Amino acid sequence: MQRIVSLFDTHVPFQIPLDPVMEFIQDFRPTIVVLGGDLHDWTAVSHWIADQSRYLDGGVIAENYAQLKSVLLTPVMAAAPDAKVVYLKGNHEEWIDMALRIQPNGRGYWELERNVPEEIQIIQVNMPYAVNSNLVYIHGLYTNEYHAKKTVNAYHTSVIYGHVHTVQSYMMVSPVDSTKFYKGQSVGCLCHLNPMFMKNKPSAWINGFSYAYVDDDDSFQDEPVIIVKNKFWANGRRYQ
C-alpha cells in the first residue's frame, strides 16, 4: 500500500505556517509526497511585470531558491526521509522557463532542475504524475466554475489537483460497471487567502492539502484536509 501526501500552491514567501502540516507528514509516514506546483511565487520572473528582463537578477532568483529550500523542500524531506518526493511544475514555475527564453544568459543557472535536490523527481508543466492506472496528480488546468467536472472529462481517470486554491469534487461512475469511477478533486492552497494583488476581493480560496491511501489493486481513498486558522483535523488528531 502507498500513502501519499500532496501539497499545492504554497507560493513561498506568502505561505501560511507549515509546521502543523510537517507534523502530520511525520506522523503519516507517506511513501510519496507530491509537491503540486506554484511552490514559490517567483515574482522576480512574473510574466505580469512589463519588460521583465530588467528585473531578472541572478541574486534574486538564487534567493528565491534558498527560500523554497528552507521553507518547504528541506522540511518535507526531513519529515518524510524515506518518501519519494515528486515536484509538479505549475504555471508559476513555467515563468522561469519564460524568463529563460527572454534572457538566455540564465541558462544553466535558473532552471528548476539545477536548483532543487537531485533526488526530487520533477514533472514538466501540464504533465500528470500517474500513481497507477486509476489515479494521477496534476498541478491543474481549469479555473471555470465546474473545474472538477471539466478535469475528469479531460483526463478520463481520477485526478487530484491544485491551481484553483479551493476545494471541489466531482464523481463520474461508469454506466456499465458501478465499481469503476473517475473522481476529480481539487485541493486547497497553502498560501495566504488575501494577497496584495487581490485587493480585498472576495474569493473561494481555502487552505488545505490532501492525503491518500492507494492499495496494490489500484483502488484508492483520498482525504482533502481543510485548514482553518492554521488548525485542522486529520486521521483523528488535531494539528495546530
Cis bond leading into 13, ω under 30°?
Answer: yes
pLDDT of residue 197 exceeding 80, the answer is: no
Count CB-CB contacts under 10 A for residue 112.
19
pLDDT of residue 196 exceeding 80, the answer is: no
Residue 210 phi, psi dihedral angles, 5° rounding: -140, 150
Kindly indicate the confidence band of residue 174, based on its pLDDT and cuts at 50, 70 and 90. Answer: confident
Count CB-CB contacts under 10 A for residue 111.
14
**Would you say the C-alpha torsion 156, 162, 163, 168 has a positive or negative sign?**
positive
What are the residues facing 210 on neighbouring strands? 6, 224
Q: Which three cell numbers stand for residue 25?
A: 507528514
Query: Cα(139)–Cα(128) distance, rounded to whole angstroms?
Result: 8
Confidence at residue 53, expressed as pLDDT on a 0 to 100 scale: 52
Phi-psi category of 77—alpha, beta or left, where left has phi over 0 and alpha has psi -120 to 50?
alpha
Task: Summarize pLDDT for 150-164 with one digit per residue, the tens.
Answer: 999 999 999 999 999
Domain 2-239 has CATH 3.60.21.10: yes
Task: Summarize pLDDT for 58-100 with one digit per residue, the tens.
Answer: 458 889 999 999 999 999 999 999 999 999 999 999 999 988 8
Query: Cα(36)–Cα(2) distance, rounded to whole angstroms?
Result: 18
Tell me how far CA of residue 49 lies from CA of 59, 73, 191, in angstroms.
Answer: 18, 27, 21
Query: Cα(143)–Cα(99) distance, rounded to whole angstroms?
Result: 24
What does the domain layout of the chain look like in residue ranges? 2-239
